[in-house]
Amino acid sequence: MGAKPETAGTPVLKMQGIDKAFAGNPVVRRVDFSCLAGEIHGLVGENGAGKSTLMKILAGIYQPDAGNVILNGREVAFRNYGEAREAGICVVYQELSLLPQMSVAENIFMGRWRRGRAGLVNWPEIRKEARLALEKVGLGDLDVNRLVSSLPMAVRQLIEVAKALLYEPRAVVFDEPTTTLTGSEAARLFGLMRELRNQGKGIIFISHRLKEILGVSDRITIMKDGERVLTGPAADFDENKLIYHMIGRDLTQIFPKKPVQLPDRIIFSCSAVAPGGGKIEFSVREGEVLGIGGLNGQGQVPFLESIFGLETGAEVSLHGGSRIRVKSPRDAMRVGISLIPEDRNAQSSFPILSIRNNIASASLARLSAAGFLKTWREKRDVRKIAEELQIRMASLSQEVRYLSGGNVQKTVFARWLLASPKVMVLLSPTSGIDVGTKQQIYRLIRELAAGGVAIIVLTGDMVELIGLCDRVLVMYGGRVSGELSGSELTEENIMRTSMGRTGGEGAA
């Protein structure tokens, strides 16, 4: 073996016998893990398997209870992330660390301000260096004076990487970086990851999208219940094998069976102002799962938010009742419309409240009698739903901020389920969710539909549109460019209508 550091094949980092427990709950157990120079190492496992915790130990955010971390042949014990970063370990998270109200240049140089002679911040110098840093991630043309809030998520992600690269890391951890990205945006990020790998850096990549993991990784490690199950060359794996080791059983059928024939009864109809002008009229039949597809940013989100009383507010009718205008989320909730937003961490969970309070928060009225919250009833209902969704937690009184990313999402889902909605609008309900739980969520969605809840699902995942939905409205340029169902529901048709080319009979 070549002794030169940073030649491909030499470990950049090694973790040996790592243990970590929180309040007596073991979360990472006797884990050995290494990443070589010049490899992309995929890390997979169910929600709560311990992936992020292991990486936080690597990055000095947590200290291990046992075991050691070896960086370039030397044992290290980082007390915080700053120390790890100086030593060459950087982490890029899905929830980015950029401050939206500051400019790109300011964000890149946050915490490492260059000062000129008079102690003043040297702006021209900062802007110049920011530009150089951005070039490395293919953003050479970006105006560094722009506010981060004005940029799409994909660009923010790349800025985050540019910022990390300033520390000249030997290893970069990407913890679910693609959850909010479209296919082509993710492809761009993978290009960058490969480039960094070819420069001899060690790249660790966490994702629940197994196709991505298989496509981009050189080696793969699978974790389950805090332990490392298996590590091997990516070529030795396929999707089924990954799933088998992740969840400990085969998963042949991810999607539940669709009903062969739906009853004709319309349970929800809606007329919304289309973001691109005109109207979008549609209805949902009993038992039906209606999908909303299309490329990112074609007006899907504002359209669906209007059903929940945001934007211009839609006109709706439930079970053939009279038409009402939904002017606010309050109106929406009163008639039984719920919306599960996409950005779950930021918008819709209460991080410092308990799991129980989070789940019960949308159902307080129903769970109360004469103004008193019926504690026993709340506890019973919350527990039941948490079990159904297999939320991995120490107890119901644990604060939500300590849950793994996927389990926070399940908590939000549980909250809206508990509120027994009549109409559920789900924005990307399974992003960041592991395959085993995805299957449960699909089953749950089917059961809700069969039980008379009108289900509307937005997803960028083609397989999900085809496998889960009975009918799909595809959007392009702020309007519906096609409606597909039954045998028309193919990848090719979805692609074509996504580009704005109408196929078959177009919807209104």
Ligand X SMILES: Nc1ncnc2c1ncn2[C@@H]1O[C@H](COP(=O)(O)OP(=O)(O)OP(=O)(O)O)[C@@H](O)[C@H]1O
Which residues are at the interface with Mg ion (CB under 5 A)? 52, 404-405
Question: Looking at 405, 429, 460, 478, which residue binds ligand X (CB under 6 A)?
Answer: 405
Indicate the residue among 42 and 309 with the shorter CB distance to Mg ion: 42
In angstroms, what is the minimal distance from the CB of 187 to Mg ion?
Answer: 23
The answer to whether residue 177 forms part of the interface with ligand X (CB under 6 A) is no
Candidates 329-337, 339-347, 399-407, 472-480; binding stretch for ligand X (CB under 6 A): 399-407
In angstroms, what is the minimal distance from the CB of 399 to ligand X?
Answer: 8
The answer to whether residue 60 forms part of the interface with ligand X (CB under 6 A) is no
Indicate the residue among 176 and 464 with the shorter CB distance to ligand X: 176
Indicate the residue among 53 and 107 with the shorter CB distance to ligand X: 53
If you search the block for the tokens 């590590």, which residue do you land on? 231
402 contact choice in Mg ion, ligand X, none (CB below 5 to 8 Å, kind-dependent): ligand X
In angstroms, what is the minimal distance from the CB of 461 to ligand X?
Answer: 17
Interface with ligand X (CB under 6 A), residue total 18
27 contact choice in ligand X, Mg ion, none (CB below 5 to 8 Å, kind-dependent): ligand X
Q: Tell me the torsion sign for CA atoms 273, 276, 279, 284.
A: negative
Question: What gap in Å lies between CA 417 and CA 360, rounded to an integer?
Answer: 10
Indicate the residue among 180 and 404 with the shorter CB distance to Mg ion: 404
Indicate the residue among 392 and 438 with the shorter CB distance to ligand X: 392
The answer to whether residue 53 forms part of the interface with ligand X (CB under 6 A) is yes
42 contact choice in Mg ion, ligand X, none (CB below 5 to 8 Å, kind-dependent): none
The answer to whether residue 403 forms part of the interface with ligand X (CB under 6 A) is yes
Question: Looking at 81, 93, 123, 402, which residue binds ligand X (CB under 6 A)?
Answer: 402
Question: Looking at 407, 428, 439, 481, which residue binds ligand X (CB under 6 A)?
Answer: 407
Under 8 Å CB-to-CB from 387, ≥6 apart: which residues?
none
* Helix (DSSP H) and strand (DSSP E) numbers for the chain: 18, 22
Distances in whole angstroms, Cα of residue 475 to Cα of each of 278, 300, 315? 13, 7, 19
437 contact choice in ligand X, Mg ion, none (CB below 5 to 8 Å, kind-dependent): none
In angstroms, what is the minimal distance from the CB of 172 to ligand X?
Answer: 17
407 contact choice in ligand X, Mg ion, none (CB below 5 to 8 Å, kind-dependent): ligand X
In contact, 196 and 6? CB cutoff 8 Å: no
Indicate the residue among 93 and 244 with the shorter CB distance to Mg ion: 93
The full DSSP string for 397-464 is TSBGGGS-HHHHHHHHHHHHHHT--SEEEEESTTTT--HHHHHHHHHHHHHHHHTT-EEEEE-S-HHH
Question: What gap in Å lies between CA 164 and CA 108, rounded to an integer?
Answer: 9
Question: Looking at 10, 18, 38, 50, which residue binds ligand X (CB under 6 A)?
Answer: 50
Q: Which residue type sits at 339? A: L
The answer to whether residue 27 forms part of the interface with ligand X (CB under 6 A) is yes
392 contact choice in ligand X, Mg ion, none (CB below 5 to 8 Å, kind-dependent): ligand X
DSSP character at residue 324: E
In angstroms, what is the minimal distance from the CB of 153 to ligand X?
Answer: 18
Site for ligand X in 357-396 (CB under 6 A): 392-393
With left for phi above 0 and alpha for psi between -120 and 50, is residue 2 left, alpha or beta? beta
Under 8 Å CB-to-CB from 357, ≥6 apart: which residues?
350
Distances in whole angstroms, Cα of residue 40 to Cα of each of 4, 57, 203, 208? 20, 19, 5, 16
The SS3 assignment for 288 reads coil
Buried b / exposed e over 40-51, threshold 16 CB at 10 Å, is bbbbbbbbbbbb
In contact, 242 and 214? CB cutoff 8 Å: yes
Candidates 43-51, 164-172, 182-190, 337-345; binding stretch for ligand X (CB under 6 A): 43-51
In angstroms, what is the minimal distance from the CB of 348 to ligand X?
Answer: 16
Cβ neighbours around 161 below 10 Å, total: 24
SS (H, E, C) 45-78: CCCCCCHHHHHHHHCCCCCCCEEEEEECCEEECC
Distance of CA 414 to the CA centre of its chain: 17
48 contact choice in ligand X, Mg ion, none (CB below 5 to 8 Å, kind-dependent): ligand X
Q: In what order do the strands lie in the sheet with 315-318?
A: 279-285, 266-273, 315-318, 324-325
313 contact choice in Mg ion, ligand X, none (CB below 5 to 8 Å, kind-dependent): none
45 contact choice in ligand X, Mg ion, none (CB below 5 to 8 Å, kind-dependent): ligand X
In angstroms, what is the minimal distance from the CB of 175 to Mg ion?
Answer: 6
49 contact choice in Mg ion, ligand X, none (CB below 5 to 8 Å, kind-dependent): ligand X
Provide the binding-site residues for ligand X, judged by CB under 6 A: 22, 27, 45, 47-53, 392-393, 402-407
